[in-house]
Amino acid sequence: MSTRNYVKGDIKVLNAWAFYDWANSVYPLVISSSVFPIYYGALFIDDLYIDVFGFNFKNTALISFLTAFAFIILSFITPLLSGIADYMGNKKTFLKFFCYLGSISCIGLYWFDLENIYLGLFFYFMALISFWASLVFYNSYLPDIANKDQQDYISAKGYALGYVGSVILLIFNLAMVMFPDSFGIEGVNPELTAMKYSFVSVGLWWIIFSQYTFHHLPIITDKRKIIKHVIFNGFKELQEVWNELRHIIIIKKFLIAFFIYSSALQTVLIIATYFGEQEIAWKEGTKTTGLIISILLIQLIAIIGAMFTAKISKKIGNIRTLLILNLIWAFLCIGAYFIKEPIEFYIAAGAVGLVMGGIQALSRSTFSKLIPDTDNTTSYFSFFDVSQKVSIVLGMTLFAILDQTTGSMRISILIFVLIFLIGAFLLNKIKIKNV
């Protein structure tokens, strides 16, 4: 096996690894959560429906179906690529490939419009696939380069860097959208043009800042050839974990509950901005600014919410805290049906931020506490990751079908009230001390 010379626990390597969060976190914030949903909604100002792939789709149903399909693909290729990368030791090659593909796809969104709808949807699809696939190899580097007592700290540092970097770029993009003249952006619709430049900025940010990470991350490869059993090694590991979980009732109960409420949680987070763009009665000229401010509000409050949730879980336990959070989310979905004014949307955004980060972080840490003592933790978390991706497929597909048939995002989102309540019910069935 040949490797670039490095010492496990080297601070320079760890910092370079964490810096990739700074590079890639602009995608989920700018593309997934804020600017792209606003831009996408603005394209359908005259008609919410479009003929594509031989069907007449409502715009939000179309993007939901496409997102669900992307996560179906991810659910399949994640264990496939993980097995190959683990065997061949070429994580860095895969990481770079998906980084570059994702960056180019973000830049390609500049040409997203209704006249080039197929090309635009292709770039959206490839950017989503690339971001989530790159995370598989990025996260798997951590146990290779960090000692166990360093992993929590450096992981948190990566999260912090990602938050700061993505917010900086979002603020820059917000300024560009609000004051296009100051950036020399002119034309028929300078606001939309500024949004298109925002997509380009994400691609450039991602690809440029990732170079520091790629320069310092070690190359680990033994140049072994891919053979048949290696290709399906990732699926074999998932099967082994499933066989083990069949005999560990507590983890199985938690994973079922997690699968249920995660399908609602992740879908609501993905479609939130689309909902705000389409269902809120914004005053003329305030929609774009209002939506981006809402996203920033969620991000800021999410940090406080995650810390607050952690303190509560120490007092009453993880399972009980997750149960309460599910009930709050159900209440928020009910509230979403009634909100119409911007001030109501801001309040809802603040409430979402308060419980968003907490339920995701607590779900991951709860699973970590429940798994048995084993050297095979990577396989367990791979199973956890695939479960989450499949749950997103379920949630997005269910929402898309309801949105397409009813024509209303308000009515469609009510189904998640039931799903969160089922999640709370299943969590209540888990009886375990000290968790």
Model pLDDT for residues 258-272, shown as the tens digit of each residue: 999 999 998 998 888
Q: Is 133 exposed, middle or buried (0-12, 13-18, 19+ CB in 10 A)?
A: buried
Lowest pLDDT segment from 3-17, 110-124, 281-295: 3-17
Residues 348 and 389 in one domain: yes
Q: How does pLDDT run across 203-220, given as a tens digit for each residue?
A: 999 999 999 999 988 876
CA distance 362 to 368: 10
pLDDT in tens, 218-267: 876 555 555 556 666 667 777 777 777 777 888 889 999 999 999 999 89
Q: What are φ and ψ of residue 56, in 5° steps?
A: -100, 105
Please tell me whether residues 407 and 261 are part of one structural domain: yes
In terms of domains, do 221 and 257 share one? no
Does 222 share its domain with 271? no
Q: pLDDT value at position 298?
A: 84
Last residue of a domain, one of 201, 230, 259: 230
Same domain, 223 and 266: no
Domain check: are 315 and 209 in the same one?
no
pLDDT above 90: percentage of residues in the chain: 41
Q: Which of 371, 375, 421, 361 is nearest to 254 (CA)?
A: 371
Residues 251 and 342 in one domain: yes
- The answer for residues whose C-beta is within 8 angstroms of residue 180's C-beta and 6 or more apart is 186, 190, 191, 193, 194
How far is Cα 207 from Cα 107, in angstroms, rounded to an integer?
11
Shared domain for 275 and 176, answered yes or no, is: no
Q: How far apart are CA 91 and CA 97, in angstroms?
A: 10
321 and 275 in a common domain: yes
Nearest one of 36, 293, 21 to 162, comparing CA atoms: 21
Band of the pLDDT at 2, cuts 50, 70, 90? very low
**Cα(400)–Cα(30) distance, integer angstroms:** 22
Residue 187 has pLDDT above 60, yes or no: yes
Are 121 and 248 contained in the same domain?
no
Contact 295, 163 (CB under 8 A): no
The verdict on 241 and 184 lying in the same domain is no
Q: How far apart are CA 10 and CA 151, in angstroms?
A: 12
Say if residue 258 is in the same domain as residue 208. no
Tens digit of each residue's pLDDT (9 = 90 or more) over 75-103 = 888 777 766 666 666 778 889 999 999 99
Helix axes 415-428, 377-406, angle to 10 degrees: 150
Domain end, chosen from 230, 252, 280, is at: 230
Can you give the residue range of the structural domain that contains 163?
1-230
Domain boundary residue, one of 177, 199, 230: 230
Q: What's this model's pTM, rounded to 2 decimal places?
A: 0.83
Q: What's the CATH code of the domain at 111? A: 1.20.1250.20
Beta strand 49-52 with 55-58 is antiparallel
Structural domains in the chain (count): 2
